[in-house]
Chain A
Amino acid sequence: MRKKTLLFLIACIVLLLLFPVFLPRFYVYLLSIILLYGLLATSLNIVLGYGGIFQFHHAVFYGVGAYSTALMLTKTAMPAVLAFIVGPLVAAALGFVLGIICIRLSKLYFGMLQISLGSLVWAIVYRWYSFTGGDDGIHGIPIPDILSSYTGAYYYTFIITAVCIFLIYKIINSPFGSALQGIRDNPVRSEMIGINVKRHQLLALTIAGFFAGVAGSLFVVVDNTVFPDMLFWTLSLEILIMCLLGGWFSFLGPMLGAGVIVALRTFVSTYTVYWALVLGILMMLVIFFLPNGILGYFEERFKKMLIEPEIKE
């Protein structure tokens, strides 16, 4: 059983590594985007699916991570490596600060306050022409040579995403992850068994901010641009839908959701400008028929297949 999963994983990795060899440039680019959106959605799911915190404006951390990286690359002469480290750290710091303010509220109220504070950050980025380039964003960001080719960017994205997903997996399955899931299910009870609920939630928000920032810095590498739409609330909604669509109680659900949505946006939008309509209908179908998301549904089926023979005996 374990061996099979491992083999499957290795096959996936090999396949993903080989893609640039035979796929045209456009698809390699698309795959990079799917990977980094997958990382972004998975980072949201740390707090959403595992933490039960309604982080409605997650794109802010993605955007801030991307902008910090981009600004360091364009405006300073510091080594590029530093920019890729500082970006996520700034996003984590912002996650911490917004977290401290919002964590006093719970459930939907948390989400509402978070949307408004996040929009404030968006407004600053959007208006501060002299520093962030305002609604033009920043273009032609100088990227280190190894990463500037499309295959280089792809491999970089792939490796960083894989490492981050692995780290997130470790965190979810650590004692901290267990405590976080306990808090999601029942904050009152968690507090009663000695868990400082708010502090654990705050750490989760900071971690989620960090990984969103990593996804942002990956976007800088893949696309060489940043723009204010990256921290607009509509993108947050899209990330949220990725989690729900793929399955927010499955570890790889958000990744799958990201794949589906990015593919939809790319391919359906060549036929119609109303691609969001297709997404909306799909979303409704998922909510009605697969309340645990696509991957959640298959996991359930799989579990049943394992359990049923036992019951028959």
Chain B
Amino acid sequence: MLEVAGITKSFDGFKAVNNAHLSVEKGEIVAVIGPNGAGKTTLFNLITGIIKPDSGRVLFNNEDITGLPPYKICRKRISRSFQIVNVFQRLTVFENVQISILSREKKTWNLFAPSKRLVVRETESILESVGLIDKKDRVTAFLSHGDRKVLEIAMALGGNPEFLILDEPTAGMAAEETSRCIDLIKRLSKTMGLTILFCEHDMEIVFGIANRIMVMVRGSTVIQGSCDEVRCNEAVQNAYLGGSDVCLM
């Protein structure tokens, strides 16, 4: 479904992403792992068009989407959530998700219909499924960090994606929130059939939900394979454990 081939991006001579490869099949959950600064977020930014690559290609459903602006990529039904919480601070939880749906339905050029009455049911059903329905009238600035991370996912769902990219979905969450969030991700994959690409530092989560794992070190792909393949790979052990012969996890 998604095919990233030899993608490279450098900032002032520093190669943040250097010849990275990634492939994701339909229905899979793929995790990207790597030490801090490995270029995981940059890779996601390259896929979603927030920054343009220096070289390499991104193919989605066999269509070249390299370097398209983010709003066009979103219309191909790729949605993402951000690592650093990125929501509409002054608006309510409800409005945050609603805008995302309105945008997908191309209603944002409508100047005179009252938006209060538009796509209410769909917005509420998304909030229901992520468990934010009780807080729908809260202004997002006053939401807890964990709730805002979940709202991130809800907004991404508003675009009715086939392909969901989650950048550290559980970062900074309390233990209980984390387990709820993981349940949510599993549910999205199983019941809605979403293809999910995510990155995460918590290895327990990664090995718990990913079908395949891609390991990035210093901007390059070390390996992409099944959990077991990755676990016992020598290069991965070098990167993470300084070359000891203990398997990860």
Residues of A in contact with B (beta carbons under 8 Å apart)? 170-171, 173-179, 181-182, 184-186, 188-197, 200, 203, 249
Flag if A194 contacts B159 (CB, 8 Å). yes
Cβ–Cβ < 8 Å partners of A170 in chain B: 111-112, 114
Q: How many A-B residue pairs have CB under 8 A?
A: 107
8 A-B pairs within 8 Å (CB atoms) are namely: A173-B114, A173-B116, A176-B110, A181-B88, A184-B90, A192-B74, A192-B80, A193-B99
Q: Is there a chain A Cβ closer than 8 Å to B180's Cβ?
A: no
Cβ–Cβ < 8 Å partners of B120 in chain A: none
A176 and B109 CA atoms in complex are apart in Å by: 5
Chain B 46-104 residues near chain A, CB threshold 8 A: 48, 50, 69-71, 74-75, 79-80, 82, 86-91, 95-96, 98-100, 102-104
A136 and B71 CA atoms in complex are apart in Å by: 49
Flag if A194 contacts B104 (CB, 8 Å). yes
Picked from A173, A175, A189, A193, the residue with its CB within 8 Å of the CB of B107 is A175
Q: How far is the CB of B135 from chain A (nearest CB, A)?
A: 14
Flag if A179 contacts B86 (CB, 8 Å). no
Cβ–Cβ < 8 Å partners of B86 in chain A: 186, 188-189, 192
Size range of the interface on B?
35 or more
A197 in contact with B71 given A185-B90, A186-B88 (CB within 8 Å) = yes
Cβ–Cβ < 8 Å partners of B111 in chain A: 170-171, 174, 176
Flag if B110 contacts A174 (CB, 8 Å). yes
Q: Which 7 A-B pairs have the closest CB atoms?
A: A194-B74, A179-B108, A185-B88, A191-B70, A193-B100, A194-B103, A175-B107
Cβ–Cβ < 8 Å partners of A179 in chain B: 99, 102-103, 108
Picked from A171, A184, A185, A193, the residue with its CB within 8 Å of the CB of B159 is A193
Cβ–Cβ < 8 Å partners of A189 in chain B: 82, 86-88, 155
- Other CB < 8 Å A-B pairs besides A181-B90, A194-B103, 16 of them? A171-B111, A174-B113, A174-B114, A174-B115, A175-B102, A178-B98, A178-B115, A179-B99, A182-B96, A185-B87, A185-B90, A186-B87, A193-B99, A193-B156, A194-B104, A195-B71
* Contact code string B105-127 (vs A, CB < 8 Å = 1, else 0): 00111111111101000000000
Q: Is there a chain A Cβ closer than 8 Å to B158's Cβ?
A: yes
Flag if A188 contacts B108 (CB, 8 Å). no
Closest to A185 in B: B88
Picked from A171, A178, A186, A191, the residue with its CB within 8 Å of the CB of B108 is A178
A135 and B156 CA atoms in complex are apart in Å by: 55
Flag if B159 contacts A186 (CB, 8 Å). no
Name the residue among B82, B109, B116 with the largest chain A CB count within 10 angstroms: B109
Cβ–Cβ < 8 Å partners of A197 in chain B: 71
Q: How far is the CB of A250 from chain B (nearest CB, A)?
A: 12
Q: How far is the CB of B131 from chain A (nearest CB, A)?
A: 20
Flag if A192 contacts B115 (CB, 8 Å). no
Closest to B116 in A: A173
Closest to B80 in A: A192
Cβ–Cβ < 8 Å partners of A188 in chain B: 50, 70, 86
Cβ–Cβ < 8 Å partners of B116 in chain A: 173
Q: How far is the CB of B157 from chain A (nearest CB, A)?
A: 10
Flag if A185 contacts B112 (CB, 8 Å). no
A191 and B79 CA atoms in complex are apart in Å by: 11
Flag if A175 contacts B110 (CB, 8 Å). yes
Cβ–Cβ < 8 Å partners of A200 in chain B: 108
A175 and B104 CA atoms in complex are apart in Å by: 12
Flag if A181 contacts B91 (CB, 8 Å). yes
Flag if A171 contacts B112 (CB, 8 Å). yes
Name the residue among A173, A184, A192, A249 with the largest chain B CB count within 10 angstroms: A192
Cβ–Cβ < 8 Å partners of B156 in chain A: 193
Cβ–Cβ < 8 Å partners of B109 in chain A: 175-176, 203
Cβ–Cβ < 8 Å partners of B99 in chain A: 178-179, 182, 190, 193, 195
Flag if B107 contacts A191 (CB, 8 Å). no
